[in-house]
Amino acid sequence: MSVTTAFAPLLDLVYPPRCPLCGEAIAAQKGLCLDCWSTLEIPSASGEDGITAATLYNDTARQLVLNFKHGRKIALAGMMARQIAGRLPDLEGEWLAIPVPLHRIRLWQRGFNQSALLATELCKLVAARPLVDGLVRTRRTPSLGGLGREERARVLDGAIAVREVHRSRIAGANILLVDDVLTSGATTNACRSALDQAGAARLHVACFSRVPEGRLG
């Protein structure tokens, strides 16, 4: 029994578990209340295009991501990783879990890379090893919000690269690319391009939420 498990009853007594979205009392510190769970949209298919998403990006998923990323509720990483793991196909062979990187300035401002937290938690649940600094942002890019697909791709062109110290480790490896939200695919494609150039054997994308084609702003 882990220390966390052993002290869970005491933690629940001191800090009664609440839904991280609505504040409703729940049975344990690990999830949402039933009402909030019921508003999550789950994709009908998963992994068929090399992408596994735990949810579709609706108001509930958006609020979870905002609470996690900007509200600093980093404890949500475990729950979100469990949702992703539950939909991943079987990973045959050895895999490296590499998060989508943040530029060093944004990392300093936020204090953490949400995708790296997800990758670390995901590796506790699936047969993969984390490589949280496998990719690096070579330059700071503006927010992609409000940009179209072509503009996003243009902004990210050449902005992500494999970290040189890990190039030999990535060559020939199976890569699980981890992100919180997949929007247009521009960031994913920039990461894929860098990993392909480094000689990665296979790549599968794992994200908590995916924006459906018709909801791109």
Domains of the chain (ranges, CATH numbers) = 1-38 (no CATH), 42-215 (3.40.50.2020)
How far apart, in whole angstroms, are the C-alpha atoms of residue 8 and residue 2? 10
**Mean pLDDT in order along the chain per 10 residues (217 residues):** 46 66 80 92 84 96 94 91 95 95 91 96 96 94 72 83 97 98 91 97 97 69
In the chain, the percentage of residues whose pLDDT exceeds 90 is 64
Mean pLDDT rounded to a whole number for the chain: 88
Residue 82: the pLDDT is 95
Triad 64, 112, 209: Cα angle to 5° = 30
Residues 6+ apart with CB under 8 A from 177: 98, 99, 100, 188, 191, 192, 195, 203, 204, 205, 206
Residue 72: the pLDDT is 86
Residue 29: the pLDDT is 65
How far apart, in whole angstroms, are the C-alpha atoms of residue 195 and residue 160? 10
Looking up tokens 């062979």 gives 93
